[in-house]
Structure 1
Amino acid sequence: MSVLLLRLAGPLQSWGSAARFTRRTTENAPTKSGVVGLLAAAQGRRRDADLSDLAALEFGVRVDQPGTRLRDFHTAHHSDTLKAMPLSERFYLADAVFVAAVSGEDRLVQRLYEALLEPVFLPYLGRRSCPPSRPVTIAEPRDVGLEQALREARWEASDWYRKKHKTDARRRGRPVPGMVRLNLLLESLPGTVPEMTLRDLPVSFDLRHRRYGLRGLRGAEVRVPVAAGDTALPPPPHEPTALLAPVAPRSD
């Protein structure tokens, strides 16, 4: 079994699990359905494709930078009649950073890693209006347990958040901590009672009948070292649309 770590960072993210009608909420961390959708899009799977292999992957998330909840109002019109649709509320997480992990059969995980390097469809963080600000892949798949991989992964928080972490300690008259405490959200262990449940297990993304199952979750905490002078890695060149061919102008 292999584990693939994903860096989910961007100006805005939105991971809905119970969004209905005019109120589109977001969870505080990436959902399994959202990340499976990202992986399926990278492979070029259509919405009516079989998702059973991706849904069977073990999934977990580490909250490196929780972000701030943001509410926006959304207006739209029907493309044919131009009739205004009801005003809706859209909720987002601003300036959040997560490390997500999926674990499964070696060949499948390797194919997912390769697909993320050259995605068929552009990846986005829950909604199409939320592109990632940095490459999603962190490193090649590893042959370790999912929880261990999340506990050992480097802290991916941005520089301003790291500085705030140190400043808050000094304001309280405490030494700058050498460790940072981060929350983990993991799938509940077989045979145990889950601490919570979430309807984010994807069964079908078909627009005619989207279906999701319940998934049991458990929380945990991890202490990640913060070396003296540690800063976020400089972002590499990242333009998600660089490989798209320009569309020729219409002659009419």
Structure 2
Amino acid sequence: MSGLLLRLAGPLQSWGERSAFTPVRDSAAFPTRSGLIGMFCAAHGRGRDEEGLARYEGLEFTVRIDRPGVRLIDYHTVGGGRPKHLTAATSGGDHKGDAVITRRHYLADAVFIVAVAGPDDEIARIAAALDQPYWAPYLGRRSCLPDEPFLLCASVDDPVRELMERVPLSVHEADDQHRPPETTGVSVDFLWEKYHRDQLPDGAVTLTANDVPVSFAQHSRSHGKRLLYRTTEQLPEALRSDQATLHQRLISYAKEEDA
């Protein structure tokens, strides 16, 4: 078993969990398993109707929430002000002539560091595809492009330990203003598929997410459920970075891991 590390950051992210072709396009508060595996499939050039999702079942995701982001709702209209035959089509293929209204949810200014663990050959295959993707990766929607560095580390023996001890942490100055003066270390939320310590700490929260991809087919998408554990972990103070030094520290970390 080995792993890789992704940094999911950008102006906007959107990780749909419950909605599909409905007027309200929601977003989960964290990167979904479906969204991450869909990113890998796109990097490999796999179409939506292709089979082969079973090969990703052995992957384990751990998410460090550097910044949860701020929820933003964008009001959209599609097809208004055009001749009827040029407006958006219904599922039956007809054209009503009216504008389609949607409200799309985004996470603004969010930052997630994701550890992906799995069999060595599968991790190597995914890392190679992400390094030279067939279709460019995006953060849930095509309009949501990731910041660099994106692939922080292509291969590491213990990716969760990297999250806990080595990957630089981005913290807003506003977060520091509300930090008690006697606090040591940095309190950071994590989402685990499998908790990597002896027992869950007091205050851990169990979540259910309906985001395990069964099929990405255009007209028959389906997903299963999984359990997640949300905890707050104390990380070393040395990982804290201000905005002036964060980017360079991330680049230095990525280069060091590639060396």
**Corresponding letter in the other structure for 2:121:** R
Which amino acid letter does the alignment assign opposite residue 24 of structure 2?
R
Q: What are the ranges of 5 or more consecutive residues in structure 1 without an aligned counterpart?
A: 237-252
1:208 deviates by 1.8
Cross-structure match for 1:152: 165
- Correspondence 1:56 to 2:58: yes
* Correspondence list, 1:51-130, <5 A: 51-77=53-79, 81-82=86-87, 83-130=97-144
Alpha-carbon distance between aligned partners in 1 of 2:145 and 2:125, rounded to the nearest angstrom: 22
Corresponding residue for residue 168 of structure 1: 178
Aligned-pair identity (%):
38
State the partner residue of 1:29.
30
Q: 1:103 to 1:229 in 2, by over 3 A?
A: closer
CA separation of 1:85 and 1:210: change in aligned 2, threshold 3 A:
farther
Partner of 2:222: 211
Q: Deviations over 1:167-187 (max 9, x none)?
A: 333xx6x25x55211111111
Which residue of 1 is the match for residue 232 of structure 2?
221
Flag structure 2 segments of 5+ consecutive residues without an equivalent: 88-96, 200-204, 252-259
Deviations 1:52-109 (A, max 9, x none): 1123311121101111011111111299632344211111000000011211110110
SS of the residue 2:161 aligns to: helix
- How far 1:155 sits from its partner (Å)? 3.3
Q: Secondary structure at the match of 1:141?
A: strand
**Do the aligned residues in 2 keep the contact of 1:59 with 1:100 (CA within 8 Å)?**
yes
- Give, in angstroms, the shift of residue 134 of structure 1: 1.6
Check conservation: 1:154, 1:224, Cα contact below 8 A: no
Tell me which amino acid in the other structure corresponds to 1:81: L
1:199 lines up with 2:210 in the alignment: yes
Name the CA shift for 1:228/1:38 in 2 (closer, same or farther; >3 Å): closer
Q: Is the 8 A contact 1:99 1:156 kept in 2?
A: no
Counterpart of 2:234, as a letter, is R
Q: Contact 2:186–2:240 (CA<8 Å) still a contact in 1?
A: no
Structure 1 residue 17 displacement after superposition: 0.7
Q: Once superposed, what is the RMSD of the aligned Cα atoms?
A: 2.6
Query: Secondary structure of 1:64's match?
Result: strand
How many pairs were matched up? 226
